[in-house]
Structure 1
Amino acid sequence: MQTLPNPTTNRPLTDTTIHRRKTRPVKVGNITIGGGYPVVVQSMINEDTLDIDGSVAAIRRLHEIGCEIVRVTVPSMAHAKALAEIKQKLVATYQPVPLVADVHHNGMKIALEVAKHVDKVRINPGLYVFEKAKNTEYSQAEFDEIGDKIRETLEPLVVSLRDQGKAMRIGVNHGSLAERMLFTYGDTPKGMVESALEFIRICESLDFRNIVISLKASRVPVMVAAYRLMVQRMDELKMDYPLHLGVTEAGDGEYGRIKSTAGIAPLLADGIGDTIRVSITESPEKEIPVCYSILQALGLRKTMVEYVACPSCGRTLFNLEEVLHKVRDATKHLTGLDIAVMGCIVNGPGEMADADYGYVGKQPGFISLYRGREEIKKVPESEGVTELINLIKADDRWIDP
């Protein structure tokens, strides 16, 4: 029987490997985005950048739990200059951390200042240059005139970043498209893509290609469509820039996490995306576990134990939820392992075939422990977690918490 290709990736539907889109490597401090490197995790501090000590502490907190690139906002020249002190203090009291400055609202001078102190500058094409409201269609001449103004204001920043070997993120937001893009292309993914391409072409004309692209939206279907269209257009234009994925303003709690995952995961599964940020209305530290969970679930990064567990049913021979919590509490500090907790023998060995270790209920009051597909021993349920740990230790795969 013929296997049809996946309409998005053009690969066989039976292909279970994620084939990441080939992109150019872009250095951000000591981290590389794209170029086949692991998908990078980012977040952003909430502190006012004028608060030097508070900002340093916030950056350090994020970095210590796995955030690889940290973004800060620079709404004024004073904030931009404060980044010099923040960077120096990080080096003196902790270590260098890749920093990105967020520049908005006619921030040409601010961007030039902050480019001296950070590793990457993020600009929003819809806000970088002031466009006087016209509230009507734009002629080609008017459209091009504004494009010339954009080039004039962007060129010094591009040259500065190019000469320093630093990077830029061209960060388009659906909610802040420039007016002429709205009137020309509509409030659409196409408008987002064309906005990004306009800035990319300016950078390329100045021989600057240390660029990362993002096209964020608060509505998942818009966000996903924009990234897919961007990839299509870049392929047509022989561009290979890495992509920064994120659903902006996703909200908080369970829904915020689900919404972010719904937008980021399908693109990563299709090989699209080189760095991600989960934007939830909670402390930035809460974003990092969500990022790693998404990457772990897709097999793109292995940063924690992968737990395989059945949902429980009438055949289950122990309190599965309780036991899973006990197993997780005892082993969650390990990395690179797959551990299965299965309630009965019906699905156990088959469903957990890819796991390194299995904890299976085979008869009331007893647990069978597996190494891969091989049953190693049967122990009383009360000793199950302890004996699982002993098995991992016997294989020299245990580390103390």
Structure 2
Amino acid sequence: MTTASASKIYCPSLTQYQRRLSREVKIGDLPMGGLNPIRVQSMTTVDTMDTLGSVEQTLRMVEAGCEYVRITAPSVKEAQNLLEIKKELRKRGCSVPLIADIHFTPNAAELAARIVEKVRVNPGNYADKKKFDVIDYTDSSYAAEVERIRERFRPLVQICKQYGTAMRIGTNHGSLSDRILSRYGDTPLGMVESALEFLRLCEEENYYDVVLSMKASNTQVMVQAYRLLVQKLDEEGLQPYPLHLGVTEAGEAEDGRIKSAVGIGTLLEDGLGDTVRVSLTEAPEAEAPVAKALIDRYTTRAAEARPIKPLVVSSQLSVGSEKAAQNNLATNNEQLTTKQIPIDPFQYFRRYTREVQNLGGQNVPRVMVDISRLSAVEYADLRAVGHLYSAFLDKFQMNDLGADYVYSGQRPVPFMLPNGLKEVVDYSAWVDGGARADHYPVLTAAEYAGSGAKHAELNFVFQTLDSLTPAALDQLRQDTTAVLILRTDNAHAMPEIRRAFFELLNEGITNPVIIQRQYPELTPEQTQLYAATDVGGLLLDGLGDGVILSTELLPERPKEEWLQTLDQLNQLSFGILQAARTRMSKTEYISCPSCGRTLFDLQETTAMIRKRTDHLKGVKIGIMGCIVNGPGEMADADYGYVGVGKGKIALYRGQEVIKKAVPEEQAVDQLIELMREDGKWIEPVTLEEPVGV
């Protein structure tokens, strides 16, 4: 479905770090947007009626770095108790602004707006309907329904204006109303229009203390929706409202952090975002440090980044919207006001490439692991790149997280590799080794430009934006064996590599590209978040046919530590590809971060379901604590596990409820049985003997 957008401009600049200048919104004593820092926030998980429990958890969250704290208010009684929570917090010297989270209940929102500093409403279920009905609206009946909703929403706007209370209009991909779905479908445009209906009324009432969000568990949808929102605000001449960034139901542990970084980090790279909430199925205190780590990367980005040469495109490309030149989006981005960028930032299209071996074309993106720092490689060492050797069977066993390529540099592996794993060596080592057909050389840009021998089928070439000269581009255009490895040492890394992709697109170069990122002297946690941002942001735009991550500038370490690092980088690479929805290699858990509405222990339940199902490849399981975060928020999950009452679970196939009120102690077994009925269940396989030599 088309986005119906004339302009592709959605951020201040695609080639320099420049934060979007949004309207400042007062939230208590801590303003958001404008020139203020990007704020950190999270949400309590304690029952809102537990006043002391909510207070104690809020204090822990503030200590962990939260600048705003959100508390659910599903009914009037919880909204009323927000006053007691606020009194106790102020009594203890805590002035953190409080945000009431409202679903379905306008009366609760109107009460909460008189108590707390901000209310959050979801347009999909605030006076609108979500019953999974398809309705054929006429223009007049649609307009009448919009007006009904506006009249129900107007009192809240007037109360917020009177009390100086801020508001977040927060659209969620999974809870779009039947009305929006009937007209716009399950699309980013539907998400944006859902919010704009409410926003237009706010502006009619001269109420501007508004923050906007476009959350989804699907990172592609989430990023496209935020971009389209910014473009639509500009197109309609609306205020540049602050943006609240978040990926809903990101999950737990490494997967949750990677998924959050792919979505949130991609937008931060383009200067979008005024507050961040990382949604993990963990204690809320664990969320703030992750959000802060993502934000802190941009504190000095503008000063540290090297200039990236401006975008120059062919004259035959269509001209973009001129209107953006008249407002703040394009004031420092002149090259984009008259030139069309060669991708659609609001819809996913993978860059067309020719197929070279198993790279490019219709192949999934490939994973390459750099093992060149190992002084020697043994059979068991390949466990670190996902290939498991069994001495008992004397063979390697297939693994869904097994790397596709290893880069061994000057030290070729001294034994035959398992089927499916290919080896890449330095060009000089390839020549000295007799130009073996089962080894693939990687050449520097200078070596590639030379007249030396090349592999007949596959040659990798290190390239940077600066090395993509007209001569290099012409050589690549004619070479059906070349695969680029794009890299940069610019602090503004993702935009520079994206700029290189734009060069390839505008010049009609269709060679596959592997994205390389190196992270010297970073902690594993930083590497995880930075790589997910840098590589994931490109993959979301359909750019990239593979990934190689390395820490090659780290000092020498014992072999076991190196193997542990390689294992982490290999798993991280697959995790990024999965989070960007470009290669599904393991089970995906779409689990909400818990809140006061949750009807079971989300962390314990998620761990239990993961233990039973994490061997299933590419199956998506939604684990939702309550019906508010139920079938809608699971959006594109294959199966759902949703709390519907104390000790009672509803099981879903997609968004269709299959079993209602299943006793909690039987629910996981019945979920597995449902998968078995659908032919999706595979019994877990264990090795006959521990891996080793």
When normalised by structure 1's length, the TM-score is 0.72
- Aligned counterpart for 1:343 among listed residues 532, 555, 563: 555
1:209 matched to 2:208: yes
Residue of structure 1 in register with 2:32 after alignment = 33
Q: For residues 114-170 of structure 1, give each alpha carbon's deviation from its aligned partner in whole angstroms, at most 9, with x where no partner exists.
A: 111100000000000143855222111111111111111111110111011110000
In structure 2, C-alpha distance between the alignment counterparts of 1:132 and 1:343, rounded to whole Å: 56
Residue of structure 2 in register with 1:251 after alignment = 251
SS in 2 for 1:207: coil
Matches of residues 317-396 of structure 1 in structure 2 within 5 Å? Answer: 343=555
Matches of residues 235-246 of structure 1 in structure 2 within 5 Å? Answer: 235-238=234-237, 239-246=239-246
In structure 1, C-alpha distance between the alignment counterparts of 2:14 and 2:240, rounded to whole Å: 23
Q: For residues 342-395 of structure 1, give each alpha carbon's deviation from its aligned partner in whole angstroms, at most 9, with x where no partner exists.
A: 527xxxxxxxxxxxxxxxxxxxxxxxxxxxxxxxxxxxxxxxxxxxxxxxxxxx
Matches of residues 6-155 of structure 1 in structure 2 within 5 Å? Answer: 9=11, 11=13, 13=15, 15=16, 18-105=17-104, 107-131=105-129, 135-155=134-154
**Could you tell me which amino acid in structure 2 is paired with residue 175 of structure 1?**
G
Structure 1 residue 314: Cα displacement:
6.0
1:230 matched to 2:229: yes
1:179 matched to 2:181: no
In structure 2, C-alpha distance between the alignment counterparts of 1:98 and 1:33, rounded to whole Å: 11
SS in 2 for 1:265: helix
In structure 2, C-alpha distance between the alignment counterparts of 1:261 and 1:229, rounded to whole Å: 20
Residue of structure 2 in register with 1:170 after alignment = 169
Q: For residues 19-41 of structure 1, give each alpha carbon's deviation from its aligned partner in whole angstroms, at most 9, with x where no partner exists.
A: 11111001111111101210000
SS in 2 for 1:91: helix
Does the CA contact (< 8 Å) of 2:278 and 2:287 recur in 1? Answer: yes
Matches of residues 185-196 of structure 1 in structure 2 within 5 Å? Answer: 185-196=184-195
Q: For residues 232-259 of structure 1, give each alpha carbon's deviation from its aligned partner in whole angstroms, at most 9, with x where no partner exists.
A: 1011122210000000000101010000
SS in 2 for 1:43: strand
Return closer, same or farther for 1:56/1:147 CA change in 2, 3 Å cut-off.
same
Return closer, same or farther for 1:132/1:214 CA change in 2, 3 Å cut-off.
closer
**Greater alpha carbon shift after TM alignment, 25-34 vs 292-301:** 292-301
**Greater alpha carbon shift after TM alignment, 86-95 vs 185-194:** 86-95
Return closer, same or farther for 1:11/1:156 CA change in 2, 3 Å cut-off.
closer
Q: Which runs of 5+ in 2 are unaligned?
A: 1-7, 302-370, 376-520, 524-552, 557-693
Does the CA contact (< 8 Å) of 1:39 and 1:300 recur in 2? Answer: no
Does the CA contact (< 8 Å) of 2:130 and 2:177 recur in 1? Answer: no
Residue of structure 2 in register with 1:271 after alignment = 271
What percentage of aligned pairs have identical amino acids?
Answer: 47
Return closer, same or farther for 1:300/1:176 CA change in 2, 3 Å cut-off.
farther
Q: For residues 236-292 of structure 1, give each alpha carbon's deviation from its aligned partner in whole angstroms, at most 9, with x where no partner exists.
A: 122210000000000101010000000001101101111010001011011011111
Does the CA contact (< 8 Å) of 2:51 and 2:84 recur in 1? Answer: yes
Structure 1 residue 94: Cα displacement:
2.8
SS in 2 for 1:128: coil
In structure 1, C-alpha distance between the alignment counterparts of 2:372 and 2:155, rounded to whole Å: 61
Structure 1 residue 296: Cα displacement:
2.0
SS in 1 for 2:19: coil
Number of matched residues?
Answer: 306
Residue of structure 2 in register with 1:296 after alignment = 296
Q: For residues 70-112 of structure 1, give each alpha carbon's deviation from its aligned partner in whole angstroms, at most 9, with x where no partner exists.
A: 000001111011001110110112321100000101x111111
In structure 1, C-alpha distance between the alignment counterparts of 2:253 and 2:245, rounded to whole Å: 20
Does the CA contact (< 8 Å) of 2:216 and 2:222 recur in 1? Answer: yes
Structure 1 residue 8: Cα displacement:
6.1
Q: For residues 204-248 of structure 1, give each alpha carbon's deviation from its aligned partner in whole angstroms, at most 9, with x where no partner exists.
A: 111101000000000000000000000110111222100000000
SS in 2 for 1:96: coil
In structure 2, C-alpha distance between the alignment counterparts of 1:121 and 1:12, rounded to whole Å: 33
Q: Which runs of 5+ in 1 are unaligned?
A: 1-5, 302-310, 316-322, 326-340, 345-401
SS in 2 for 1:32: coil
**Could you tell me which amino acid in structure 1 is paired with residue 271 of structure 2?**
G
SS in 1 for 2:124: helix
**Could you tell me which amino acid in structure 1 is paired with residue 274 of structure 2?**
D
Matches of residues 309-320 of structure 1 in structure 2 within 5 Å? Answer: 313=373
Does the CA contact (< 8 Å) of 2:277 and 2:291 recur in 1? Answer: yes
**Greater alpha carbon shift after TM alignment, 268-277 vs 289-298:** 289-298
Identify, as 1 or 2, the structure richer in helix: 1
Does the CA contact (< 8 Å) of 1:189 and 1:229 recur in 2? Answer: yes
